[in-house]
Amino acid sequence: MRPFGDYAAYYDGLYRDKDYRAEAEFVLGLVRQNCPGAQSLLELGCGTGSHAEHLSAAGVRVHGIDSSAPMLELARARQQRLPCEIAGRLMFSHGDVRHMRIGETFDAAVSLFHVVSYQVSNQDLRDCFATARRHLKPGGVFVFDCWYGPAVLTDHPTVRVRRWQDDRSSVTRIAEPTLHPNENTVEVKYTIFVHSRASGETRVLEELHRMRYLFGPEVEALAAVAGLEMIEARAWMSQNEPGLDSWNACFVVRG
């Protein structure tokens, strides 16, 4: 099953404890540190629009693109519930982060919550970087996070379980990873059990997600092919360089 199909309906509930506001503030801080006064962003892989909402609330115009139609439906529904001032700074489009071209340039581009790690081949990564570069104004920056190779290989991925419930359903998601060290990837099998309180029935969804973990030198080399210069790398939500305990790393590159 294609990632983020039927699973999209339960995504926000399963990540209800994720601090999207703080993450948006962190990323916008990196953007404005390297591109002062930035007022427009392209978000590659916007998902259900949680980061976009908080970036817009901070006064930034955001155009989000995503390849999952169900996720975009939720993003647009979120937009309709927001105050007009915030909603008016948001736009969402359906497209692939490797190939999307929208004929507009932005002060910066961002790609969050491991979207770049879904680009598993070198060509996928080069294409994703080229998309960011094509849409940047001169001197614009691309800020993205990803799985960080040194930490993944130090602290191997393990089976994880998330649970969430509301007045209609209880949802359990099991993530079973398989490490492929010769490919720099992890294959994650998601099994989602959705129990309906009304009918008593349980629906089972399955998705297979391939994720690539990245290393600083390869990010620098692949970004350079697209004309992007490495500026800095940090552990996610930190002022420190990524290390062996930084499963999530953040990179800043400039066009």
Query: Which structure tokens are listed for 251?
Result: 């990179």
> By the 8 A CB rule, do 234 and 250 touch?
yes
Which run of H or of E encompasses 107?
A: strand 106-111
Instruction: Indicate the CATH number of 152-211 among 3.40.1640.10, 3.50.50.60, 2.20.25.110, 1.10.1270.20.
Output: 2.20.25.110
Size of the chain, expressed as the number of residues it contains = 255
7 — pLDDT class (breaks 50, 70, 90): confident
What distance in Å separates the CA atoms of residue 2 and residue 22, rounded to the nearest whole number?
30
SS3 label, residue 232: strand
- The domain covering 8-148+213-254 belongs, at the CATH homologous superfamily level, to Vaccinia Virus protein VP39 (3.40.50.150)
pLDDT digits (tens, 9 = 90+) for 124-145: 999 999 999 999 999 999 999 9
Q: What is the mean pLDDT of the chain?
A: 96
pLDDT for 174-213, tens place per residue?
A: 999 999 999 999 999 999 999 999 899 999 999 999 999 9
* Choice between 215 and 3, residue whose per-residue pLDDT is larger: 215
Alpha-carbon distance of 218 to 143, in angstroms, equals 16
Residue 2 confidence (pLDDT) = 62
- Rounded to two decimals, the pTM is 0.96
Q: Is 140 helix (H, G, I), strand (E, B) or coil?
A: strand
The domain segmentation of the chain, as residue ranges, is 8-148+213-254, 152-211
3 pLDDT band, cuts 50/70/90, is: confident
d(CA 208, CA 109): 27
What is the pLDDT, as a whole number, of residue 5? Answer: 75
In order, the DSSP letters of 16-81 are TT--HHHHHHHHHHHHHHHSTT--EEEEES-TTSHHHHHHHHTT-EEEEEES-HHHHHHHHHHHHH
CA–CA dist 129, 65 (Å, integer):
15
- Say if residues 132 and 44 touch (Cβ distance below 8 Å): yes
Q: pLDDT at residue 4 above 90?
A: no
Q: Which whole number is the average pLDDT over 44-72? A: 97
Q: What is the pLDDT of residue 1?
A: 53
The mean per-residue pLDDT over the stretch 37-47 comes to: 97
Give mean pLDDT, residues 162-171.
94
Distance, CA of 101 to CA of 199 (rounded, Å): 45
pLDDT over 90 (residue 6):
no
